[in-house]
Amino acid sequence: TQLLEQSPQFLSIQEGENLTVYCNSSSVFSSLQWYRQEPGEGPVLLVTVVTGGEVKKLKRLTFQFGDARKDSSLHITAAQPGDTGLYLCAGARGTGKLIFGQGTTLQVKP
Amino acid sequence: ETGVTQTPRHLVMGMTNKKSLKCEQHLGHNAMYWYKQSAKKPLELMFVYSLEERVENNSVPSRFSPECPNSSHLFLHLHTLQPEDSALYLCASSQDWPDNEQFFGPGTRLTVL
């Protein structure tokens, strides 16, 4: 069974702090997506990383794909209350079937 | 309407009821998906349709019956559900299949009494 382990599962921080969410697997993925989901809504795609070692930035969010394409991280700089939500990573192996992690719930307090 | 829409947003049903969930995508995509999201569990893929043909059925119980009449619409027919089927049911679409960039609807929160 392909598994994506996300950590931490829950994170509560103050506004302005930095944080990193990790997504790890023993399997190699052809690409990896990060999604953000707010309560009562569906996941919204933030970024797709494809190349080992790739780094992508989206404003205060930095996404990195591991060199071996087995892991990824999401770093948020100076977190804002608007960053609150459930962050999901999903790995793909070219079959059209995404393997999702269990998610990281982030709460940013003003 | 833009993106992926789902109706109803909330549904409460008894175990003997029959109901249907509806999904519509306004993105011109060719593939549509049903996922189940339960608390503290990863999203579970249920069904995939590509060009109105079912291409993936992830060992889902027969009390869930999908229907894809055209590339823009997807239904999930429900009958004789169990309380453990209570979850958020998410519809998604992608340009083609296989395609890893999937766009999700807001989901239907289903409660089975």
Q: How many CB atoms lie within 10 A of CB B88?
A: 19
List the single residue in B99, B103, B106 with the smallest CB-CB distance to A96: B99
CA neighbor of B101 nearest in space, from B110, B91, B93: B93
H or E, element range at A105: strand A104-109
**Spatial separation of the C-alpha atoms in residues A10 and A84, rounded to whole Å:** 11
**Spatial separation of the C-alpha atoms in residues A46 and A61, rounded to whole Å:** 9
Could you tell me what percent of chain A has a pLDDT over 90?
85
Angle (nearest 5°) at CA B30 between A35 and B44? 40
Tokens of B76: 């999930």
Interchain contact, B102 vs A98, CB within 8 Å: yes
Are B111 and B88 in contact by the 8 Å Cβ rule? The answer is no
Residue B69 φ/ψ region, left for φ over 0, alpha for ψ in the -120 to 50 degree band, beta for the rest = alpha
Predicted confidence (pLDDT) per residue in B52-100, tens digit: 888 877 789 999 999 999 999 999 999 999 999 999 999 999 998 877 7
Are B107 and B88 in contact by the 8 Å Cβ rule? The answer is yes
Mean pLDDT of the A42-64 span? 96
Angle (nearest 5°) at CA A50 between A46 and A44? 15
Tokens of A68: 């071996």
Within 8 A of A44 by CB-CB distance, chain B residues are 104
Q: Give A109→chain B minimum CA distance, Å.
A: 22
> What one-letter code names the amino acid at A56?
K
Residues 27-86 of B with CB under 8 A from A: 31, 40-43, 45, 48, 55-56
Are A48 and B103 in contact by the 8 Å Cβ rule? The answer is no
Are A77 and A62 in contact by the 8 Å Cβ rule? The answer is yes
Is the pLDDT assigned to residue A21 strictly greater than 90?
yes
User: Which SS3 state, helix, strand or coil, does residue B96 take?
Assistant: coil
**Nearest C-alpha in B relative to A45:** B103
Within 8 A of B107 by CB-CB distance, chain A residues are 40-42
CA neighbor of A55 nearest in space, from A30, A37, A81, A73: A73
Interchain contact, B100 vs A92, CB within 8 Å: yes
Is the pLDDT assigned to residue B1 strictly greater than 70?
no
Predicted confidence (pLDDT) per residue in A67-92, tens digit: 999 999 999 999 999 999 999 999 98
Within 8 A of B103 by CB-CB distance, chain A residues are 45
Q: Give B109→chain A minimum CA distance, Å.
A: 8
**Spatial separation of the C-alpha atoms in residues B75 and B112, rounded to whole Å:** 18
